[in-house]
Homo-oligomer: A and B are copies of this chain.
Amino acid sequence: MSRKEIEREFKRQLIARSARDLFLAKSYEEVTVQDIASAAEFGKGTIYQYFSSKEEILYYLIYQDMAESMENLRRDCSEPDACECLNIYISNQYDLYMRGNRLFLSFLRLMLEGNLKPEWINATGIIREQKLEFVAGIIARGQADGVFIEADSLQLARALKNVVRGFTMEQLELQKKATKNTNDIELIKAVIFAGIMRKNDSG
């Protein structure tokens, strides 16, 4: 990456960061490009030198969140204990959703309304699947160790993700601030583990 490209990417980051703050404080829809420009201390036109549209800023933010989360997962889930790995995953995923749900929801709406470039949908879709497969891998490991029930690991991975997401959606609905809700994470884990854990009734 040339110096030019590095500088460019740096400014994209600056703009995107300002945008994220605004998007989370208000909402994607309520924030104007002028707002973003002002917050980033740029002129409005300058924003368009770095992003082709307001939508692209949102995509950039979301893609980064997902990519970073995926990276964290790979880094933090290297240990052999599948159970512990899932614990980490759940916490990470919970945090990711709690932080980003409003953004994800706006992105989702844009997608459903057909206002998103297919390549953006693809790119996010790919990461989503990678993550799913990664988690499925962990589960498969656990299954091999006889810790988890025998079932399609990919389906179980989906279930995990969906349970986490459901809980975070609820927080949004209740207008709870995005504070770490340890109790909920425990509840999630309890439900999930008692669910997918093999019942070692034999002894």
A interface residue numbers (CB < 8 A to B): 26-27, 29-30, 102, 105-106, 108-109, 111-113, 139, 146-151, 155-156, 158-167, 169-170, 172-173, 175, 187-188, 190-201
Q: Which residues of B contact A198 (CB under 8 A)?
A: 146-150
Residue of B108, B166, B196 near A165 (CB, 8 A) is: B166
- Main SS of the interface on chain A? helix
Expressed in whole angstroms, the Cα–Cα distance for A150 and B198 within the complex equals: 8
Flag if A191 contacts B195 (CB, 8 Å): yes
**Chain B residues with CB below 8 A from A26, complex form:** 113
Tell me which of B148, B170, B194, B197 contacts A162 (CB under 8 A).
B170
Q: Report the Cα distance A27→B173, complex, angstroms.
A: 19
Beyond A105-B105, A147-B197, A166-B166, 5 additional contacts (C-beta under 8 Å) are A108-B173, A149-B194, A162-B169, A191-B196, A193-B197
Q: Tell whether, in the assembled complex, residue B196 and residue A139 are in contact, meaning their CB atoms are under 8 Å apart.
A: yes
C-alpha gap A171/B106 in the complex (Å) = 16
User: Residue on B with the closest CB to A158?
Assistant: B170
A173→B149 CA distance, assembly (Å): 27
